Chain A
Amino acid sequence: MNDDHEHHDHNHNDSRHHDHEHEHKHEEKSPQAIRAEALESLLIEKGLLSEHAVDDVITNYAQRVGPMNGALLVARAWTDPEFKQRLLSNATQAIAEYDFKGGQVDHLVVVENTPERHNAVVCTLCSCYPWAVLGLPPKWYKDPAYRSRIVREPRTLLAEMGLSLDTNIEIRVWDSSAEVRYMVLPMRPENTDNLTQDELAALVSRDSMIGVEVLCQAGQSS
């Protein structure tokens, strides 16, 4: 059957290290949970889907696709001017050599933050996002509040999210679409000249590549 992934909800509470995780789970499933389960069982019966394929997708997104890919690109762009040029002029072409899995980067545009201009990314219509380089979008990215306010009042919203930008810094907001996905190239933190590319990549956060954070040394948000 296709529900072995749900056993944990009810059993295994004897295991100390995830007691608190699951003790609040209910016996009753939400209507959506039941509908999703019904859909999966029907699609498996019809041979459109295998449980195994769904598991693989989930594992792939959870473990192999993530903001790390984007961070690698950023670190390389900081240290390799020729690559940076290629990344900014045609990101899809520039990242082809990496063979990142996850999709949604057929038309990737990388926008560069400068001392004069800050960039932020949104999808005002739904939740378009460059999965292959940034993994899955955070919850707030999909919320109506972010989707509308980042366009209407970006400076105020960014400040609320912890990023206060000087009024003389221009803010540009890029609206993702079916055709184009965006990623921000954040500015390199100061005093990082001695760091290797890998060490630099470790400083790059997901939020800095969406443009709701700028990087300080040691990867802290400003």
Chain B
Amino acid sequence: MTDEMESMALQGRVEPPKANGEVIFDEPWQNRTFGMARSLCEAEYFTWDEFRACLIKQIESWEAAHTASEPYQYFDHFLAALTELMALKDLCETDELDQRSQEFVDRPHGHDH
């Protein structure tokens, strides 16, 4: 594969989905998180209605505690709903996730280079 082909392939893979030319995901993690939620639902670890219920709860509690002028980050709520549901289902405990996240924070820069 030539360098140019490789970079085009990479670009194709990492480009977020677009609809009517609009980028739907701001950052790759949002894309991954959406993909995780759908994969888990398709594998029947939960139903989309269960996920939706968690998402609504997250959004409602955020909206109750914040004013409309504060920046609203939909995918923050999406990720919070997913992690909450995984804990509720005993599939992934919050402590475990906190710990893994901390390990990732502590990794030296450039670990994946």
Q: Residues of A at under 8 Å CB distance from B? A: 1, 3, 5-12, 15, 17-18, 21, 27, 29-43, 46, 48-50, 53-58, 61-63, 66-67, 103-104, 125-128, 134-139, 142-145, 148, 178, 205-207
Q: Which of B1-47 contact A (CB under 8 A)?
A: 3-4, 7, 10-11, 13-20, 22, 24, 27-36, 38-40, 42-43, 45
Chain A residue numbers with a CB within 8 Å of B35 are 54-55, 57-58
Q: Flag whether B88 is at the interface (Cβ < 8 A).
A: no
Which of B60, B79, B86, B112 meets A7, CB within 8 Å?
Answer: B112
Q: How far is the CA of A168 from the CA of B97 in the complex (A)?
A: 55
**Residues in chain A near residue B15, CB distance under 8 A:** 62
A48 touches B45 (CB 8 A): yes
Q: Are B38 and A57 in contact (CB under 8 A)?
A: yes
B7 to chain A, nearest CB (A): 4
Alpha-carbon gap, A126 to B48, bound state (A): 13
- Chain A at the B interface: SS class: helix
Given the known interface contacts A35-B83, A38-B101, A62-B17, the answer about A139 and B24 at a Cβ–Cβ threshold of 8 Å is yes
Contact B104 A38 (CB under 8 A): yes
Q: How far is the CB of A67 from chain B (nearest CB, A)?
A: 6
Which of B17, B38, B40, B79 lies in contact with A48, CB distance below 8 A?
B40
17 further A-B pairs in the complex, CB-CB below 8 A; given A58-B17, A144-B68, A178-B49: A3-B112, A5-B28, A6-B28, A7-B10, A7-B112, A11-B113, A17-B11, A38-B104, A39-B36, A39-B100, A40-B36, A62-B18, A126-B55, A126-B56, A136-B24, A139-B22, A139-B24
Residues of A within 8 A of B18 (CB): 62
The distance from the CB of B98 to the nearest CB of chain A, in whole angstroms, is 8
Asked if B59 and A126 make an inter-chain contact with CB atoms under 8 angstroms apart, the answer reads yes
Number of B residues, CB within 8 Å of A? 61
**Given A57-B39, A144-B63, A207-B20, does the pair A36, B29 have CB atoms closer than 8 Å?**
yes
Q: Which residues of A contact B76 (CB under 8 A)?
A: 32
**A1, A21, A49: the one within 8 Å of B112 (CB):** A1
For B11, B27, B101, the residue with the greatest tally of chain A CB atoms inside 10 Å of its CB is B101
Number of CB contacts from chain A to chain B under 8 A: 166
Bound CA span A209–B105, Å: 43
If A8-B14, A41-B100, A139-B24 touch, does A54 touch B36 (CB 8 Å cutoff)? yes
On whether the beta carbons of B11 and A18 are closer than 8 Å, the reply is: yes
Write out the residue numbers on chain A whose beta carbons fall within 8 Å of the beta carbon of B30.
36
Q: Considering the complex of A and B, which 7 residue pairs feature the smallest CB-CB distances, nearest first?
A: A62-B17, A38-B100, A54-B35, A33-B29, A15-B7, A36-B29, A38-B101
> A11 CA to B33 CA in the complex, in Å?
23
Measured CB to CB, the closest approach of chain A to B84, in angstroms, equals 11
Bound state CA distance, A55 and B97, in angstroms? Answer: 22
12 contacts between A and B (CB under 8 A): A6-B112, A8-B10, A12-B10, A30-B27, A35-B97, A37-B29, A37-B32, A39-B82, A58-B17, A58-B34, A62-B15, A127-B55
Task: Collect the chain A residues with CB atoms within 8 Å of residue B13's CB.
Answer: 5
Instruction: Say which residue of B14, B22, B39 sits within 8 Å of A53 (CB atoms).
Output: B39
B29 and A32 contacting across the interface, CB-CB below 8 Å:
yes
